[in-house]
Structure 1
Amino acid sequence: MEKEGVYVSKTQQKKAAKLTLFALTWPIFIEILLHMLMGNADTLMLSQYDDNSVASVGVSNQIMSVIIVMFGFVATGTTILIAQNLGANKRQRASQIAVVSICANILFGLLLSFVLFFFGESILSAMNLPEELMDTALIYLKIVGGFAFIQSLIMTLSAIIKSHGFTKDAMYVTLGMNVVNVIGNYIFIFGAFGAPTLGATGVAMSTAVSRGLGTVILFIVLYKRVKGELPWSYLTKGFPKRELRDLLKIGIPSAGEHLSYNTSQMVITYFIASMGTAALTTRVYALNIIMFALLFSVAIGQGTQILVGHLIGEKRHEEAYQRCLRSLWIGMSVSTFAAIIFAVFREEILNIFTDNPDIIQLGSILLLLTILLEPGRAFNLIVINSLRAAGDVKFPVYIGILSMWGVAVTISYAAGIWLGLGLIGVWIALILDEWLRGLLMLRRWKTRKWEKMSFIDNEEQGSDEEKEYAQ
């Protein structure tokens, strides 16, 4: 057993040594691109059916984005803890965290699915949704939200697999989910092959089915890749207090920043809803388009988080510091270039989604403003991920709450409604918020206070059994 433990450890060390930003990031990039294409496929195919359905699904997905953040507090803690423990060669500890996180998110997912299914109408009403959109939005939310626990599993399984360096596996699963989703959309939106024409309901069904199949495949991948290192029997030895404590210690503050952002976006959506259905629809189209510029920073941020986590676990702080800065400039440059491309071809792109001249005109202005928005978002996606990976998880929450509500929400109302600038005022508020938070996060990283916040350095020493296993 001891020889086997030594063999596994050396093999994993060699694998970790080969991890590079590019090797980790390009599969993550493709995976996120495919996730975005799934959402855009829903929007594009629904736009051929009905603009009101697009707005209904957009508002419902705004709610789902908050729910996904709730699942993310476990997934984020899982990613950081596993990466740091693998870097420190504490493999048994990483394995225990993995099995506990899977079970924790299943239970949490079932609870939130119950809330969305039975209280969906009250939530939509609280968002000031126009009456003509309510029925469609509610059906969509009940189907997708009722199966929200599946998304919680996807996030947790994917986090475990990617933390071990198998980012390509998650990419392939997402590709398969996209294929199933698009085929389902085609069948149920347009009534192909004699199927009923269901519109947004068909989109919801396709989304639920594709995610369900994706979950099954991810379990198979997990079983294949890290089977021998996942001690399921550990769950029978008593309540996993230590692992849950560690997951919550990192996950809750990390999720707090995301939750604050998504909740503030829901309030801003409430403001936009008062501007009319056309404004809501324009926002949905604009966000779906600029997500393609954003994904570069998202992918680089996630890849950097895994690398920084491993480096922190190995106590290679200077390399972690430089890794974040290099990733930041790469992310800013690429995402800004992509935003410029979309701005240049803004009318042609918007014409793919709609022929409404008012939506095209307003959407074009938003795409121009996105050139200023994307560099600021790169700060948050890359530097914040690095801070979390190093163990500095509270500072982003404090700054995020102050800026999102003090800048994004406040100025959205003041400029968008009070001054009458509409969506343009909202976009200006978002630009100011992203840049303020981004610059403050960069300043925090350069202070290097995170060097003393490593979770590995601060946690209790493992049991004698763990130490023997790592030797």
Structure 2
Amino acid sequence: MRYWLQKYREDYSATIKIGIPIVLGQLGIVIVGLVDNIMVGHFSTSDLAAASFVNSVFNIPILFGMGFSYGLTPLVGQFFGRGDKFRVGGLLRNSLLANFMIGLFLSVAMGIMYLNVDRMGQPEELLPLIRPYFLLQLTSLVFVMMFNSFKQFADGITDTKTSMWIMLSANLLNIIGNSLLIYGVWGLPALGLTGAGISTLASRIFMFVAFAIIFFRKQSYRRYLVGYHRTTYNTGDLKVLNRMGMMVGLQMGMETALFSISGIMIGWLGTVPLAAHQVVASISTLGFMVYYGVGAAVSIRVSNFFGRGDITGVRRATLAGTHLLAVLAISVSVFFLLVREHIGWLYTSSEDVANLVAVLMIILVFYQFGDSLQIIFANALRGVADVTSMAVISFIGYFVIALPVSYICGFVLDWGIEGIWIGYPVGLTLTGGMMCWRFYHFLRQKDI
């Protein structure tokens, strides 16, 4: 241990310095999501089950959109590593246009799904709860995409604190809105799940508007405004952003689709399994977002080193991130085991739901290693812009392996929701292993 601390001390320090604001910002979102589910769950089990379905469905476009915007980070990181601030500003301008168009496309796609929501096999009694919440989530998609452009630009230049403060402020706004609208206070009606949706929409609008104001007024960003104002929208930048963004978006979208499609399958089992799935899925994002903060920091550092042609720096940054994530995965797993018997009661008063949550938490622990492994090497591949292979590996791991395993164990073997969840550790671990092999194969080619 002392050897690793001495050899990688500077790398650990740099990764933590960049990653902590990302982790805090992402944890803020997770905590708000947990609070949403706790407050909605105590309002009614039906509202919690409806939230599970809508969130499962919207995780696909939101994570795809987030992944699409991540294509900007390694490009900005590489030009930032070379000191080319003009190109960084120009990339941001074109990224805003690309993300806006993707936001519109996703909104239309989800609008079509909304028109067919009654055909998706969900319990009939949940549809009046699902529809208004669905529309509120749909309205927020464009604002999420526009905010992501600013966030990934800031991350690429290693300014992760600005995004953190904006996200934490938005989360506070969301919590206040939930308190007012879910149960109804100060004479306001008790809107339940719809109130949570209104609060989420308001917080997402706030994030975009706040970052836009900061970008045009913050002193440290003025060096990038020259490139932003003087660069025109051009097919060259848009092609690069779309190629990078589509591959990263597909990778993240496919991972999310694994959980979302399995969430729809769990809806076939009834309201109690669906509610339990929502509880454990929301808890699982706690580990994911912590891992993601470190993974994003690795991607930023890798892209900076790769832009300078420093392959040794790329290797060190990735190894340091792997060590940090291993420690985090062990810590998160211990925490999950300690709280598994009690965590369900925070969300619901239903004994059936709470007991099922305790069972699923054991499976959740088993996929922490695979989750952290695929996050670190997906971000490392993103940092060196090897995004096509990353997307292909994700397709194999999630759709060819994990999803069939979930269906077979859940329905063919009749293991129910526990069987569906078994597909997660299998798919994530194999995906992480394949990405690890590809990353080091890519670096060996660069060393030649």
Shorter-chain TM-score category?
over 0.9
CA distance in 1, matches of 2:444, 2:65: 25
- Of 342, 348, 366, the residue aligned with 1:354 is 348
The verdict on how the C-alpha distance between 1:126 and 1:267 changes in structure 2, with shifts beyond 3 A counting, is farther
How far did 1:327 drift? Answer: 0.8
1:107 aligned counterpart, secondary structure: helix
Q: Partner letter of residue 71 of structure 1?
A: G
Shift of 1:280: 0.7
The one of 161, 168, 171 equivalent to 1:175 is 168
1:91 match: 85
Measured after TM superposition, the shift of residue 369 of structure 1 is 1.9
Report 1:71-470 matches (<5 A): 71-116=65-110, 118-223=111-216, 224=218, 225-230=220-225, 231-234=227-230, 237=232, 239-449=233-443, 452=446
Secondary structure of 2:127's aligned partner:
helix
After TM superposition, the score normalised by the length of structure 1 is: 0.88
Provide Cα deviations, 1:122-151, integer angstroms capped at 9, x if missing partner: 353353222111121111111121221011
Which amino acid is the alignment partner of residue 132 of structure 1?
Answer: E
CA RMSD of aligned residues (A): 2.0
Tell whether the 8 Å contact from 1:347 to 1:364 is kept in structure 2 after alignment.
yes
Which deviates more, 153-162 or 200-209? 153-162
Letter in 1 for 2:242: L
Normalised to the residue count of structure 2, the TM-score between the two structures is 0.92
- Regions of 4+ moved over 3 Å: 231-235, 448-453
Contact residue 182 and residue 191 of structure 2 kept, 8 A: yes
Task: Give, in angstroms, the shift of residue 73 of structure 1.
Answer: 4.6
Contact in 2 for aligned 1:373/1:434 (Cα 8 Å): yes
Q: Is the 8 A contact 2:336 2:365 kept in 1?
A: no
Counterpart of 2:348, as a letter, is: T
Deviation at 1:451? 5.9
Q: Which residue of 2 aligns with 1:5?
A: none
1:252-274 residue CA offsets vs partner (Å, 9 max, x unmatched): 11112122222333321222111
Q: Flag structure 2 segments of 5+ consecutive residues without an equivalent.
A: 1-10
Amino acid at match of 2:171: N
User: In 2, distance between residues paired with 1:188 and 1:159?
Assistant: 32
CA shift in 2, pair 1:204/1:382, >3 Å? same
Aligned partners of 1:426 and 1:122: how far apart in 2? Answer: 27
C-alpha displacement of 1:447: 2.1
The amino acid that maps onto 1:85 is F
State the identity as a percent.
Answer: 22
Number of residue equivalences? 434
* Cα drift, residue 205 of structure 1: 0.5
Contact 1:391-1:450 at 8 Å conserved across structures: no
Rounded Cα–Cα distance in structure 2 between residues aligned with 1:84 and 1:279: 46
Q: Which runs of 5+ in 1 are unaligned?
A: 1-16, 454-471
- What secondary structure does 2:299 align onto? helix
